[in-house]
Amino acid sequence: MRADAPILIFDSGVGGLTVLGPLRRLLPDAPVIYAADIAGLPYGTKSEAEVAARVSGLLGRMAERYQPRLICIACNTASTIALGMVREVLETPIVGTVPAIKPAAAMTKSGTIGLLGTEATMRQRYVDELESAFAEGKRLLRHGANGLVMLAEAKLRGERVSVDAVAQEAKGLVLQPHGEAIDTVVLACTHFPLLREELQEAYGKDVTLIDGAEGIARRIVSLSEGQAFSRERPDFAVTTGPLGDFEKLGDAFARHGIERLERF
């Protein structure tokens, strides 16, 4: 393994920055390439076939071009749909992102957990399996809130995002039967922690919000144990969309140590 081989973090947009943050703290010397499929955003409204084909195709090309030591699919929708397919076609180690149902089940006091993600994630059998394995005896209520993805993207571009707008997208979780009993909400989309303050105000201080970013970062660390890291050039981010729009995210990426933005 080359010491300068990067970790590739892939997401439909900026949600993967919520994973990059804890990864930086744990592996500050690791070279990183961030890849945002802005041209394909949002994934939550697409069919499973569209997401699987797009993610596997892009990651195949990126693996060939960048020769990463590891790929993190920092997107719940992409992971729950395409993780198995990508692992079959690439020899590169792949870390996926799955809803943090297990820790939420251990944390809830009321026994009622909210699962907030995209519509595509909510309907996946993988989520059914996580519920069966880790939330037996609990009540898991799901809500697909595709609009939160674009609100998170807008927030990181410096646009004003109101609590009311976030609450409007998220309220369907607590308005369904037994929704008033929810005391723990799993943020099952990496974009959603970018709206943590707004979501906390929308749901109230007595509801605990949980996401899987720290666990994902620890998994990457575990798979990289014993490997040498050497940053031969500055880390950078690539987009499949227009570079001009991507450059509006310059400040957000700079806060995570990424100064250069490119078109893929």
What digits encode the pLDDT tens for the residues 55-69?
A: 999 999 999 999 999
31: cis peptide before it, omega within 30°?
A: no
DSSP H stretches of helix in the chain: 17-26, 48-66, 76-89, 101-107, 119-122, 125-134, 147-156, 163-170, 172-175, 196-203, 213-223, 243-246, 250-254
Q: How far apart are CA 87 and CA 233, in angstroms?
A: 28
pLDDT digits (tens, 9 = 90+) for 81-90: 999 999 999 9
Same CATH topology for 7-97+214-263 and 101-211: the answer is: yes
Q: Say if residue 53's pLDDT is above 90.
A: yes
User: What average pLDDT does range 229-240 have in this prediction?
Assistant: 96
pLDDT band at 74 (very low <50, low <70, confident <90, very high): very high
Q: Which sequence spans correspond to the domains of the chain?
A: 7-97+214-263, 101-211
Q: Which residues are catalytic?
A: 75, 189
The answer to whether the CB of 88 falls within 8 A of the CB of 116 is: no
pLDDT at residue 1 greater than cutoff 90 = no
pTM for this predicted structure: 0.94
For the domain made up of 7-97+214-263, give the CATH fold.
Rossmann fold (3.40.50)
Asked if residues 112 and 138 have their Cβ atoms less than 8 Å apart, the reply is yes
Name the DSSP class of 157: T
> What number does CATH give the domain 101-211?
3.40.50.1860
